[in-house]
Chains A and B, each alone.
Chain A
Amino acid sequence: MVPYQRGRRSFVKLSMSKRVSRTAGPSPFDLHVSHQCKTPADGNGRNEEAHLAAEIEDPNRRDVLVLAANAFAAVGAASLIWPFVQQMNPDAGAKALASTEIDLTPVKEGQAITVMWRGKPVFIRNRTKDEVAAAAKTPVTELPDPEVDAKRVKAGKENWLVMVGICTHLGCVPKGQTMADSKGDFGGWFCPCHGSHYDTSGRIRKGPAPRNLEVPPYEFVSDTKIKIG
C-alpha cells in the first residue's frame, strides 16, 4: 500500500531527527513523538516494535496533512497565474477602439488613403478598372497563399480594396499608397524591409511574407461609408 510505504519512510526520518534533536535539546519533533511512545525504545526488540506501531500511524496522518497543505498551496498559486498572465492582454480600452467608420467620397478612382484602426494602418484603395481586371484574372494556382480576388472584396464594390497595411512577414508598413511609392513587381505594394511584393489584390506574390495582406472585418453602412471592425 502506497500510503503505508510513505509513512514508513518518513518514520525513519522522524526517528533520526529525534535522535539528533535529543542531543540538541527539545524540538517540535521530539515533543510530538515522545508523547506517543511511553517506553524507552532503545535496546529492546519488543519495545522497538510497539514503538513502530505507535509511530507509523502518526506520520501517516502527517503525510496526508502535508500533502493536502501542499496541494492547497499549489492550486492557490496556480490560480493566480491566470489573472497575472491575463493582465497583459489587450485591455478594455484597446478593445473599445475596435471599430471605426470611414467616409469614402473623397477617394477618387486610382487613389488610396490610410486610416488607423486598432493602432494599425488600414489601406483603402479605390482600384482602377485595369487593376481590378488584373487581380481577377490571375490564376489562383500561381499564388503562395491562394485566394480569389472576389473573396477579398465586397460583391458590387469590387473597386474598393480594404486591407490591414501590415506586412505579414514581420510587420513593416509596405509602400504603395502614394503616387511616388514603388508598388513592387505586381503593381500593388512593396515591403522594403525584406522585399515582399504584393499584387493589386494585396496578395503575396514574391518575397518572404507567408500570407496575403489581411482583410479586416468591415461592411458598407451606406453607399459611400464603411465601418471597420
Chain B
Amino acid sequence: MSNHVSTYNPQSRFAKWFDERLPIMRLVHDSFVDFPTPRNLNYLWTFGGILSFCLVAQILTGVMLAMHYQPSAEGAFNSIEHIRRDVNFGWMIRNFHAVGASMFFVAVYIHIFRGLYYGSYKAPREILWILGVLIFLAMMATAFMGYALPWGQMSFWGVTVITNLFSSLDGIIPGFGTAIVEWLWGGYSVSGTTLNRFFSLHYLLPFVITGLVILHVWALHVAGQNNPTGIELQHKSDSVPMAPYAVMKDAVGMFAFLIVFAWFVFFLPDYLGHADNYIEANPLVTPPHIVPEWYFLPFYAILRAIPSKLGGVIAMFGSILVLFFVSWLDTSRVRSTKYRPIYRWFFWLFLFSCLALGYLGAKPAEGVYVFWARVFTAYYFAHFLIVMPIVGLIETPSKMPRSITESVLGPGGGGAGTPAGAAAAPEKR
C-alpha cells in the first residue's frame, strides 16, 4: 500500500548501483514480492493474475497471427485457412488466440462478479473499479473487431448489425446516424475498407488495454486489496507477504485455468465459435440466424428485448454504463455480501438474470423468449437502480469478525495469531 515502507535490499554491488539510477527492481519488489496481501484471500482473487496472463497471451499470439494474416476482403478468409493448414503450428497459434478471447471473458466475468459480491467497488476503490469497467469496454471493442477479421458470414453480418446500431441516432438528429455509420464503414456498406481499419484498431486496442491495466494495478496498490470479509487490514497479522503466499496460490489457480484453456484449444477449438464463420462473407446472403459470440449474448438479449430500435441501443449501452456508478448506487456500510443477509439473495438473483439473458440472447427473438428477455432486462436495471440503493439502507448486517485475523482463527485468536509460514518470513514490514 502507499504508506508501506520499502524493504528492498539490493544484494550485489551492481544491484545497488542500478537501484540508485533506476529503482525498477525496488518497485517490483515492493509491489509484487513484499506487498502485504490479506491472509484470507480465496481462489476468486487469483483471476487478476489470470487476466494479466490472458492479455499477454493474446498480444503474443496476435502478433504472430498478424505475420500471416491479410486484412483485405479478398485475402482475409483464405489467409485464415492458410494459417490453419500451411503455417507451421499456425493451427495451434490461431486456436490459442480464438479460444484465448473466450477464456479472457470467462476470467473477466468471474473477476467482475467477485468484485460485486465482496463490494470491492466501494470506497476507497472507486477509481480502481471504474478503470476496470473501462478495461471491460475496451476488451469488448477489441474482441468485436477481432471477430470481424476471419471475414466469414458471422464476421460480416455481425459487423453489419452492430455498426447499424448507430443508425438509430437518425431518430434523434435525422441523417446523423447514417453519417456515423458511413464514417465507420468508410463506404456505403461493410466492405474490405471496413475490415482493414478494424484490423488496425484490433492491433492498437490491446496496447490501450495494457495502459489501463497498469493504472488499474497502480490504483489497486494505493488502496490495497479487498478480501472476503471486506474489512481493511489493521494488524500485521492480517496480511502475509505476496511472495510466496499469494504468488503460489495464484499459480495454482492459473494452472487449473490453463487446463481448461488447453482442453478447448486441443480438443474443442471451434466449440465456442459459430460454424457459419467458416463460410466466406457474402454481402448478398444473410445467414438465417445471426448470433454474436457467447460473451456478448446477455447484452444482445437486452438490445432485442426493447421494442424500439433507439431504445434497444440505449438499454444495451446503459447496461454497461450503469456499472460506472455502482460505487455510489450501493448505500450499504458493509462491503462483503457475506454479511448482508438480504442483499445476498438479490446478488444471486442478479447472477441468475445475467445467465438467463445469455441464454435468451442465443434464442430467436420471438414469443416467450422475448417475454423473458424483458423480465430479466427489467431486473438487470432494477438491481442497480432500485435494489442496491434501497437494500443498503434498510438491511441490518449480520455480525462481523473484528479483524481479518479473527475471521480466520476465530474469536480470541485475533492479534496473537500469525500463520506459521508468515512467522518465518522477514518481519521487517
Interface, chain A (partner B; CB < 8 A): 85, 88-91, 94, 114, 116, 118-121, 166, 169-173, 191-195, 208-210
Contact = CB atoms under 8 A, between A and B. Distances in A.
Given A172-B160, A173-B286, A194-B304, A89 B188 contact: no
Contact of A192 (B186, B191, B288, B307): B288
A85 B286 CA distance: 31
Contacts of A94: 186-188, 191, 193
Nearest to B306: A208
Given A88-B197, A172-B157, A193 B182 contact: no
Interface string B158-174: 00110111010001000
A94 B304 CA distance: 32
B182 A90 contact: yes
B275 interface: no
B366 to A, nearest CB: 6
Contact of A119 (B187, B197, B289, B304): B187
A171 B170 CA distance: 14
Interface string B172-207: 000000000011111111110100010000000000
Nearest first, the 3 closest Cβ-Cβ pairs linking A and B are: A119-B189, A118-B188, A171-B164
A119 B285 CA distance: 13
In this complex, the member of A119, A120, A166 whose beta carbon has the largest number of chain B beta carbons within 10 angstroms is A119
Interface in B290-314: 290, 304, 307-309
Contacts of B193: 91, 94
B189 A118 contact: yes
B284 interface: yes
What's the interface size class on B, roughly?
20 to 34
B351 interface: no
Interface of B: 157, 160-161, 163-165, 167, 171, 182-191, 193, 197, 283-286, 288-290, 304, 307-309, 365-366
B183 A170 contact: no
23 contacts: A88-B183, A89-B182, A89-B183, A90-B182, A94-B191, A94-B193, A118-B187, A119-B190, A120-B188, A120-B189, A120-B283, A121-B283, A166-B189, A170-B161, A171-B167, A172-B157, A172-B160, A172-B290, A173-B286, A193-B161, A195-B365, A208-B308, A208-B309
A27 B290 CA distance: 66
Given A114-B284, A173-B284, 10 more contacts: A88-B184, A88-B186, A91-B186, A91-B193, A94-B187, A121-B284, A192-B289, A193-B161, A195-B366, A209-B309
A193 B304 CA distance: 11
A172 B286 contact: yes
Nearest to A175: B286
Nearest to B179: A89
Contacts of A169: 164, 309
Nearest to A169: B309
Nearest to B312: A208
A191 B164 CA distance: 15
Contacts of A195: 365-366
Contacts of A193: 161, 286, 290
Nearest to A194: B365
B284 A170 contact: no
Contact of A173 (B164, B183, B185, B285): B285
Contacts of A116: 283-284
A191 B365 CA distance: 13
Nearest to B191: A119
Nearest to B197: A88
A30 B197 CA distance: 51
Nearest to B185: A90
Contacts of A209: 309
Contacts of A120: 188-189, 283
A210 B171 contact: yes
A179 to B, nearest CB: 16
Nearest to A193: B290
Given A88-B197, A195-B365, A208 B307 contact: yes
A191 B364 CA distance: 13
Contacts of B182: 89-90
Nearest to A168: B167
A185 to B, nearest CB: 14
Contacts of B190: 119
Contacts of A171: 160-161, 163-164, 167
B68 to A, nearest CB: 26
A119 B164 CA distance: 15
A192 B286 CA distance: 8
Contacts of A121: 283-284
A127 to B, nearest CB: 21
In this complex, the member of A89, A114, A166, A193 whose beta carbon has the largest number of chain B beta carbons within 10 angstroms is A193
B190 to A, nearest CB: 8
Contacts of B307: 208
B71 to A, nearest CB: 15
B188 A90 contact: yes
Contacts of A210: 171, 309
Contacts of B171: 210
